[in-house]
């Protein structure tokens, strides 16, 4: 069951992705709650931003833990990770650029660890022959995160359907942009 705080975090993440300077009043309005309710849940913008970062990092951890334990063929593992692209998009879009997050060493350390785990997953895909082995794994991991961020933003703006995004990301990762 989703809590009001979880729903507010989801809404606030979407708001701040489009408008980094959005006030608590704007975030509350877009979440469909009063500013007072928002402040009861998250007393300051910094607390809100740090809670958003924590949720994003937890979601990335969950997806990577499932992928690391998965013994299915690598293409199935990669498709499953890409299907859960949103936390990686949010990590790339939000955690790396928000000053309130960067000022929290634990969040920065966790973000770095998640990127290392993402790179290890890419290396595993390269070793299986699924992804190109002639490109640095860090470049391919960054490419995945960038594609995820772009797909998430296009979905938020209504230019792409949420169900299309994983298929597009997977197609680019596996086949590039050639016809």
Judge whether residue 135 has pLDDT over 70: yes
pLDDT of 156 over the 70 cut:
yes
pLDDT tens-digit series, residues 67-120: 999 999 999 999 999 999 988 888 877 776 666 666 677 888 888 899 999 999
Higher pLDDT, 43 or 177: 43
Which pTM was predicted?
Answer: 0.86
Q: Are 159 and 170 in contact (CB under 8 A)?
A: no
Mean predicted lDDT score pLDDT of the chain: 89
**What residue spans of the chain are helical by DSSP H?**
4-18, 24-31, 35-41, 45-69, 74-83, 86-90, 99-102, 105-127, 137-156, 164-175
Query: What pLDDT is stored for residue 98 in this prediction?
Result: 66
The residue-averaged pLDDT of 4-10 equals 87
């Amino acid at each position: 069951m989703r809590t009001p705080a979880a729903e507010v975090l989801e809404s606030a993440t979407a708001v701040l992705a489009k408008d980094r300077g959005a006030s608590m009043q704007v975030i509350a309005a877009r979440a469909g709650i009063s500013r007072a309710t928002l402040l009861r849940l998250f007393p300051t913008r910094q607390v809100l931003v740090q809670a958003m970062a924590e949720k994003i990092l937890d979601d990335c951890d969950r997806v990577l833990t499932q992928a690391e334990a998965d013994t299915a063929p690598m293409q199935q593992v990669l498709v499953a990770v890409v299907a859960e692209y949103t936390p990686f998009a949010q990590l790339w879009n939000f955690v790396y650029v928000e000053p309130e997050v960067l000022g929290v060493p634990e969040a920065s350390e966790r973000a770095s660890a998640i990127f290392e785990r993402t790179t290890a997953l890419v290396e595993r895909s390269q070793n299986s022959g699924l992804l190109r082995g002639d490109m640095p794994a860090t470049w391919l991991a960054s490419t995945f995160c960038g594609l995820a961020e772009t797909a998430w933003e296009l979905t938020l703006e209504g230019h792409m359907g949420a169900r299309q995004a994983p298929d597009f990301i997977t197609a680019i990762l596996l086949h590039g942009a050639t016809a």
